[in-house]
Amino acid sequence: MTITAPPSTSGATCLVVALPGGLRSPATARRIAAGWLEAAACARTADAVLIVSELVTNAVRHTRGPCLLALAERGGSLDIAVTDRGEAMPEIQRPAGGDHRGGFGLEIMHHLADSVRVVPRVGGKTVHVSLQAQAQAPARERRRPP
């Protein structure tokens, strides 16, 4: 089910999509997010779609059941949130050598985004990733001293 809210009086626009807990959900989320972000003229559509993909993939891989994707744009800032039924908190994985696969999505999100936060709740959690919708250097690069 897809629910699109019209612009509110606060100037925010949002999209909320309920996704089943299946292997096709990340591709579906990418397609829906890309269309919505392009229609909203987001200059960082590629970064945002990558973040959506990582969040939904993590929800599908590490939890059971459906997840909820929410995109909200307000005043040039984009909030990407995925709610799932997993109560375990995500951790950043560091390269360990060998043929270890996966586990680097959260590190990618930290590199691209202005902030990443996990909000625990009874029966699951919501991961919020915020980024500026205008094209600019990732947050970590902007904070480096000259």
Angle, nearest 10°, between helix axes 105-112 and 45-62?
150
Q: Is 30 helix (H, G, I), strand (E, B) or coil?
A: helix
Gap between the Cα atoms of 50 and 138, Å rounded:
14
Say which residues have a Cβ less than 8 Å from residue 6's Cβ, sequence separation at least 6.
13
Q: What is the pLDDT along the chain (146 residues), one digit of tens a residue?
A: 444 444 444 566 899 999 999 999 999 999 999 999 999 889 999 999 999 999 999 999 999 889 999 999 988 899 999 999 998 888 765 555 555 555 677 888 889 999 999 999 999 999 999 999 875 544 445 444 44
The whole-model pTM stands at 0.79
